[in-house]
Amino acid sequence: MQKVTAAITAVGGYVPETVLTNKDLEKLVDTSDEWITTRTGIKERHILREPGKATSDMAVRAILPMLEKKGISPEEIDVILVGTITGDYIFPACANIIADKIGAKNAWGFDIAAACSGFLYALETGSRFIQSGSKKVLVCGFDKMSSIIDYTDRNTCIIFGDGGGCVLLEPNTDGYGVRDSILKMDGSGREFLYQPAGGSMSPPTMETVTNRQHYVYQEGKTVFKFAVTNMADVSYDIMDRNGLNADSVDWLIAHQANLRIIDATAERMGLDKEKVLVNIDRYGNTTAGTLPLLMYDFEKKFKKGDNLILSTFGGGFTWGSIYIKWAYDPS
C-alpha cells in the first residue's frame, strides 16, 4: 500500500482593515519609526477594532472564501484544528465556534496553544489525522493579539498584530505534502514570554487587572537569543536530514517575529534572499497567524514539487520545522 501524506490543497488568509503604523505608536509610547524598523523590520500591523468581533470572526473570513474557491462545502470538513492563544473564550474552543459559524456540521476539533508555534503544531497534528484516515482537515492559525497587548508597554506593543490564515489538508499518495517534522518545547522558558494572569495559577482579580497582568509579558533580549539559535538550528537540521540543501530548498516560510531572526535562519541554511518570504513589514507578529498568512500572501509563487521549509519559535518555549513538498501549481 502506498504511503499517505497530508497535502495542502488550499490556502486562506485574513487581516483586519484597521492599520496601526509605527507613526501611530509614536503617539502612544516612547518609540520611533526608525527604532522599530531597524530593530524588527516592522512598519505597520493590522488591528481588529470591530466591536463584538473576535478571533473566530477573522478565521471565518479566511476559511469561507478558501472553501468557496476550492468548491468544497463546510459540511465536508472532518476535523478543525486551531493554533491560537487568543480564542474567543477560555472555553469553549475557538475550533468549536468556528465550526458553528461556518456550518461545519460534521466536524470535530480543538485548539492548540503553542503560541507562535501553534500553526506548526496544528499542521503536524492534522497531518497525523490524514494519515489515520481523515479526508479533509482544516488547519488554522489566528490570533487577536491586540486583546492581550498593553499599548503602554513599548517592549511588546510594537511587535504584535492581528490576523492569520488557514490551509486545507487532503490525503495524497504521490509524496506531496508534509514530508517531515521536528517539533520541540522547553517549558523552562515560560517566564520570559507569557501572560501572567487569567489562568489557574493566577485567576483574575481586581489586583491582577490593576497590575496589568492580563497582558503579554516579554523579556525581549532573552527571547531573541533563544529564537535566533533554535530556529536556525532546527531549520538546518530538517534540511540536512532530508538530503536538501540551499539549492533544492525553494522557499523558507519562517515565523515573522523579527527580521533579524529570519535573516539569521536564512544565513544558517545558506539560502539566497529571494527564497526567504517576508511580510513582517505589513503585519508584525500575528503569533499563530504568521506562517499561514505568509503562504496565503505568496501562494502564487509556489509550483507543484517545490520544497518548502516552515520554521517557527514561540512562547513557552516552543519551536520547530516542517518540510513540505508543495502539491499544486498556481491558478
Size of the site for ligand COA (CB under 6 A): 21
Of the CA atoms within 13 Å of residue 38, those in its CB half-sphere come to: 4
**Using CB under 6 A, which of 24, 35, 148, 196 touches ligand COA?**
35
User: Does 255 qualify as catalytic in the annotation?
Assistant: yes
The answer to the question of residue 258 lying near ligand COA (CB under 6 A) is: yes
Spot the catalytic one: 116, 140, 157, 166.
Answer: 116
Cell numbers given for 12:
486562506
* Between 232 and 257, CB nearer to ligand COA: 257
Minimum distance of ligand COA from residue 44's CB (angstroms): 15
* Between 172 and 321, CB nearer to ligand COA: 321
Q: Which residue has the cell 493554533?
A: 83
> How far apart, in Å, are the Cα atoms of 81 and each of 97, 107, 165, 198, 199?
12, 10, 12, 23, 22
CA separation for the pair 127, 134 (Å, rounded): 9
The answer to the question of residue 145 lying near ligand COA (CB under 6 A) is: no
CA separation for the pair 309, 285 (Å, rounded): 19
What torsion, rounded to 10 degrees, do the Cα atoms 152, 158, 159, 160 define? Answer: 60
Minimum distance of ligand COA from residue 105's CB (angstroms): 35
**Using CB under 6 A, which of 285, 286, 311, 321 touches ligand COA?**
285
The answer to the question of residue 328 lying near ligand COA (CB under 6 A) is: no
CA separation for the pair 239, 227 (Å, rounded): 18
Cell numbers given for 23:
507613526
The answer to the question of residue 301 lying near ligand COA (CB under 6 A) is: no
Q: Footprint of ligand COA on residues 177-236 (CB under 6 A)?
A: 193, 218, 220-221, 223-224, 227
Comparing every residue's Cβ against ligand COA, the nearest one is 220
The answer to the question of residue 8 lying near ligand COA (CB under 6 A) is: no
The DSSP string of 48-85 is ---TT--HHHHHHHHHHHHHHHHT--GGG--EEEEE-S
User: Does 157 qualify as catalytic in the annotation?
Assistant: no
Binding residues vs ligand COA (CB under 6 A):
31, 35, 39-40, 116, 154-155, 158-159, 193, 218, 220-221, 223-224, 227, 257-258, 285, 314-315
**Residues marked as catalytic:** 116, 255, 285
